[in-house]
Structure 1
Amino acid sequence: MGANIGYIGIDHHHRDPYFAVASELDATITAVCEPGRRVDVGNIAAMDDRPDEITTEGQDMADLVGGAAVYEDPHELVSDADVDVAWITYRSDETPAIIESTVENGVHVISEKPIARTAADLEDIADRANELGVTVSPTMYYRRNPVAMTLRDRVSEGFFGDVWTLDGRFNASQLSYRDTDHYLYDRETSRGGALQWIGPHWVDVMPWILDDPIARVNARFHDAVEADVEAGAVLQFETESGTLGTYHTGYYLSDRGKDTHLGLYGTEGQALTPLHHDSLQHEPTVPLDITSEHPDWTAAPKRTVEFEFTYDRFPAWGDFVQDYFEDYFAGYETGDVPATVDDAVQLLRVLDAAYESGERGGWVEVEG
């Protein structure tokens, strides 16, 4: 029997692709809620005016939630609606309180990253969820990205030797392509801009590939003209084992899409890859270029693997996003999910340190 989903945050711009994801799962959206407003599920239309560059999937949104119960209060939904999972796409300043209610009612959670504004907003809730055995998971899709998974396996095997440094870049379309009146771009609601919204994907996946948490950061930001959050950020970081890294993220591109790069450099090998193309980039494959000093590679020390991503189940970014949600729903009852609430707290601690570094300058230790 499939899971019953209570979807909270109907006005969020990721609703359309997530409804499409849910329609392919062994799950049913049986209740919906936009806090403070009663939704007419029969008249839900695809979002054409969006605060980001993701295109609408073209499905009839109303059909995907036909018959769902409607709530104005998310706390009432999780206590009364007989749902197994709360799927939350809502503002970061109010999501922790909603998750607190879901945890106390024994309802599991999949929530849009970064879940909260700061680590302090989530830490006690995370402890309570772990105590009660309730699964709370952030949307860290890149943990199911085939290139990232391959690199993580290679690092675990010792293929690259000791990893000296990691270099990442994740840039997206300029704010002129986005609705900057949306709460995503409001400092009081979201805390930050590029680093807090698009940046978390790789702030999470880079140390995940290494299986080595970020221990300290040095960050610089520049503010946006169109909003009161930053347009971009540059991070230097050091992991617990001493690997040095850099990360550059921002709303910079003069066209819709992504500009991405990941470089990994070790004592016995290196890897270069964009890690990801979204469907807007019209690239047929994602290359992974590897150079190795291993004796078995002497005849061909430089090799390229071309990953032919599919976009059938999640057209905007690629089907690995659908894989992420399928893995969550397969494992939420036991806690065997791609990313946990503790991973979300760790991510927020790194972001906390980055914003503190931006304010006072210099290196800042990541708490915990």
Structure 2
Amino acid sequence: MQEVHAALLGLSHPHSLAHLRTLQAVSEVASITLWDKDEALLQETVRNQGEKISGTTTDLASVLGQQQILFVVAALRNDLGPPIFIRALEAGKHVITDKPIGKTAVESAEVAAAARREQRKLGVFYQNRSLPPIQDARRIVEQGLIGELVSVEMRMVTTQVQVRNPRHWLFNQDKAGGGILSWLGCHYIDQILNITQDEIVSVAAQIATRSGEDIDVEDVAALSLGFASGAVGTFHAGYMLSMSGGGYHNAVGYDTYVSVNGRLGRITYSSNGTPTSIDVESSHPSWASAPRRTFDYTFGSSPAYGGASGEAFLRAFIDACQGKGEPLATGEDAVRVAKIVDAAYESSRSGQRIDI
């Protein structure tokens, strides 16, 4: 892979500095230009995390006009991002954004349409796709080892709103567009679409705000899902853990469980962070000698967001920008997830099942 030049747009997002660490960790990235409206924040970032930073600016047109920049990483508030993403695409830059791209599926689709029109790559940071246990789970499904999909069960609960700064824009409907589903639940919706290669075609949901904090987005949600294959699924998400610390990069701040159930077997995994093992049982003839198996994983060390697999995720996007395949998670993938999240909100409002 040849050396490339990149830009990071936005420094106040909860993940901005983590994305900067990834750009700094990937050896193929030769230089990074920073853009933010806040000059003081730009200078603070250079002082504290200045490796590879070749320049800073508060002028968006200036950074987008730099011909040597192949792609931009964008981490912006949900209500502010889409017009800037479109400007970057129209300036000829490939773009990879933090999820969910926009506040709604319509906004996300407009950005995806701009990428198609400009013939630029649009990626989204659904980084779980580069985790070895998730990739193996997908391969096991593709190999037919659990048979036709029957059902999916998912749980993702994490630390409470009170330790996540309730005054943050993430808990403001006008700025964020939604709560737990659009901020964190989206990762698990994408994860199950990626593993099963099935489509979610209907949603019945109940969402609520139960934290007791002064916020106007949902902090707990329960979804019933219908798949194109006829399979069914459930997903429970919430900010609920009272004894697991706080912060946005808390390695033990989760309680997760996923079960993918088929006619011939199932895949399960659970963790309080990144899954380090998956359990598989299969009655497929090829597994007759050992129908129950556990796959354990160790991950290489890296300062990148998501560790070594986070580096791999960004490298795959850079490859795509250079004409070698597609991003691991595309703008179209983000639109699929956003449609499901929007359907959950509409279902809860209307009391009806929503077909997608």
> With structure 1 as the length reference, what TM-score do the two structures score?
0.87
Alpha-carbon shift at residue 315 of structure 1 (Å):
7.0
Report the AA paired with residue 16 of structure 1: L
Alpha-carbon shift at residue 74 of structure 1 (Å):
2.9
Alignment correspondent of 2:48: 61
Q: Secondary structure at the match of 2:240?
A: strand
Cα separation, 1, equivalents of 2:65 and 2:338? 28
Q: Which runs of 5+ in 2 are unaligned?
A: 246-252
1:301-341 deviations in Å (ceiling 9; x for gaps): 2221222233x114774422222112112222325210111
Q: Secondary structure at the match of 1:358?
A: helix
Q: Which runs of 5+ in 1 are unaligned?
A: 46-59, 279-284
Determine which structure has greater relative contact order: mean sequence separation of CA pairs < 8 Å that are 6+ residues apart, divided by chain length: 2
Alignment correspondent of 2:249: none
Alignment correspondent of 2:348: 358
Cα separation, 2, equivalents of 1:13 and 1:354? 25
1:227-276 deviations in Å (ceiling 9; x for gaps): 22111111111111112111111111121311111101111111111277
Q: Secondary structure at the match of 2:134?
A: helix
1:147-203 deviations in Å (ceiling 9; x for gaps): 111111111111111110011112211112112222111100111111110111011
Report the AA paired with residue 143 of structure 2: E
Alignment correspondent of 2:317: 328
Alignment of 1:1-368 (within 5 A): 1-25=2-26, 26-35=28-37, 37-39=38-40, 41-44=42-45, 61-64=48-51, 66-71=53-58, 73-80=59-66, 82-223=68-209, 224-226=211-213, 227-254=215-242, 255-256=244-245, 257-274=253-270, 277-278=273-274, 286-310=276-300, 312-314=301-303, 317-334=306-323, 336-366=326-356
Q: Secondary structure at the match of 1:319?
A: helix
Alpha-carbon shift at residue 300 of structure 1 (Å):
3.1
Indicate conservation of the 8 Å contact 2:268/2:280, yes or no: yes
Query: Residues 145 and 30 from structure 1, CA distance in 2 versus in 1: closer, same or farther, beyond 3 angstroms?
Result: closer
Cα separation, 2, equivalents of 1:27 and 1:130? 25
Percent identity (aligned): 25
Q: Secondary structure at the match of 2:135?
A: helix
Instruction: Give the RMSD, CA atoms, in angstroms.
Output: 2.1
Q: Secondary structure at the match of 1:199?
A: helix
Cα separation, 2, equivalents of 1:275 and 1:264? 15
Report the AA paired with residue 68 of structure 1: G
Cα separation, 1, equivalents of 2:254 and 2:265? 27
Count of residue correspondences: 343
Cα separation, 2, equivalents of 1:237 and 1:121? 23
Alpha-carbon shift at residue 77 of structure 1 (Å):
2.7
Q: Secondary structure at the match of 1:122?
A: helix
Cα separation, 1, equivalents of 2:20 and 2:45? 11
Cα separation, 2, equivalents of 1:146 and 1:275? 15
Cα separation, 2, equivalents of 1:75 and 1:136? 19
1:183-225 deviations in Å (ceiling 9; x for gaps): 1111001111111101110111101111112111111111143
Cα separation, 1, equivalents of 2:240 and 2:114? 39
Cα separation, 2, equivalents of 1:21 and 1:80? 21
Indicate conservation of the 8 Å contact 2:267/2:281, yes or no: yes
Indicate conservation of the 8 Å contact 1:314/1:322, yes or no: no
Q: Secondary structure at the match of 2:87?
A: helix
